Structure 1
């Protein structure tokens, strides 16, 4: 039995919104496809599903970032694809990678990888000596070298370490920057990096590094924003939150073969949750 041809349903200006709606239709059992046509994205579906799909789009257009649509995106994220004329795999990857991340997200992502790659080619000891947290924390040390408060966040010790951290930074940081703006992401980066770095130093000394504290701050921020202000469009599914919290708790056991900056993770998570509360409270006041 051959599939019936698809019919144009609606034109959408933003690719991310078009894919979100396509994935939602797919979760309802409606075959759908988004095609790029002259700077707009046309959503197609079977003719016999047009009435139902139109009703769904009317609801979707009022609140496209409702959690139920985000949940469909997580569950059927590979269902929606934008069809264009002859794109290369690399070109498609670049487009999606760059489209999701803003200037702040990309800058931190690139900086982390530049530091890591430079350390692989024999510069690890020297680079770490510049980025390491203060061997002895004092007001004078802070005045002389203020960037050491943030430095450890940009140094990673292994491939697994940097891939895990930068993947989540790109995913969650990109969402925060796109939906709430550069300022919110910069504040979250600075405050969570300082809180997690200082806390980890007080517990274990200066020999630590990685963006994990900031990543867990993003987890807490996106998690609580999805709970407190779902209309903002930030959302993490419960299974994913559960996995990340389990991974955090697992770090406090001795079963992992690697040393984890557990205090940085915990303080990052707490700071992200508190920043979400502050963000919502500030918006409510204004």
Structure 2
């Protein structure tokens, strides 16, 4: 049937498109409404396209006329909308991958793979493989250098990983898009290693999570927005205030959960410093 139809008009309002389609149907014109992107396109049979155009010109002057409402009632509003646009799931998937580059996606995927594997029973094994050095020494570093960064991939709860990976995808993705994958990779390594080291010196090796890196990208985007706003990286003041307030809450020890407060603070400072090194010269010019 669709091969016999030609587009008549695109209408942004669903109910108006259906009113017109039902009236055309009542007049003996084959009709179909197809959703395309942000509008509803009314198709009708090509041999009666001119008649349909005349009807539309009258319809659009007064779509509230009782005869159009009556046509919808007579047809029991049975003109169906064919959705040729992407599904909600497809749209979310497209947006997710469009915003994130390879570095953002790889870190995101590793964090979730580790979390899911831990949930299936390998928590202790994975933590033993990823936690920071029990003792710092040159020999320990050469034996397993991955432990410098390993703790960032291990999370202890669904809220923990959801919060961290959401911010990583949002801010890390923006940095990778606008500054390139090497810039994000450098930020990830420096903020991850330094925040891990800082937390180890304060509390030992029993910690994990991407939070230090998240605060690293927060600090980077914050100062990039201040020093080089033309780069298009920015965070609103309320969000920055909330995240800094969260750090302060952790340090005064009023929260019911254990937080890697030092990792958060070191990550934030690292991100700010890297942004300053990257953009300070541009700000002066």
Moved more, 210-219 or 252-261: 252-261
Q: Using the alignment, how far apart are the partners of 2:242 and 2:222 within structure 1?
A: 13
Mapping for residues 1-286 of structure 1, pairs under 5 Å: 85-281=84-280
Contact 2:227 2:280 in 1 (8 A): no
SS of match in other structure, 1:260: coil
SS of match in other structure, 1:124: helix
Q: Using the alignment, how far apart are the partners of 2:153 and 2:245 within structure 1?
A: 24
Closer, same or farther: CA 271–87 of 1 in aligned 2, 3 Å:
same
Q: What displacement does 1:255 show? A: 1.7
Q: 1:4-39: per-residue Cα shift (whole Å, max 9, x none)?
A: x78xxxxxxxxxxxxxxxxxxxxxxxxxxx869xxx
Q: Using the alignment, how far apart are the partners of 2:225 and 2:173 within structure 1?
A: 15
Q: 1:197-226: per-residue Cα shift (whole Å, max 9, x none)?
A: 000000000000000000001111000000
Q: What displacement does 1:86 show? A: 2.2
Q: What displacement does 1:131 show? A: 0.2
Structure 1 segments (4+ residues) deviating >3 Å: 281-286
Closer, same or farther: CA 285–103 of 1 in aligned 2, 3 Å:
farther
Q: 1:235-283: per-residue Cα shift (whole Å, max 9, x none)?
A: 0000111111111111112221110000000000000000000111466
Q: 1:44-87: per-residue Cα shift (whole Å, max 9, x none)?
A: xxxxxxxxxxxxxxxxxxxxxxxxxxxxxxxxxxxxxxxx9421
Q: Using the alignment, how far apart are the partners of 1:190 and 1:96 within structure 2?
A: 26
Q: What displacement does 1:285 show? A: 10
Give the gaps of 5 or more residues in structure 1: 7-33, 37-83
Q: 1:128-174: per-residue Cα shift (whole Å, max 9, x none)?
A: 00001000111110011000000000000001100000000000000
Give the TM-score of the pair, scaled to structure 2: 0.70
Give the greater-gyration-radius structure (CA): 2
Equivalent pairs, count = 208
SS of match in other structure, 1:201: helix
Contact 2:225 2:235 in 1 (8 A): yes
Closer, same or farther: CA 283–190 of 1 in aligned 2, 3 Å:
farther
Give the gaps of 5 or more residues in structure 2: 1-10, 13-36, 40-82
RMSD: 1.9
Q: Using the alignment, how far apart are the partners of 1:285 and 1:194 within structure 2?
A: 30
SS of match in other structure, 2:251: coil
Q: Using the alignment, how far apart are the partners of 1:86 and 1:209 within structure 2?
A: 42
Give the TM-score of the pair, scaled to structure 1: 0.70
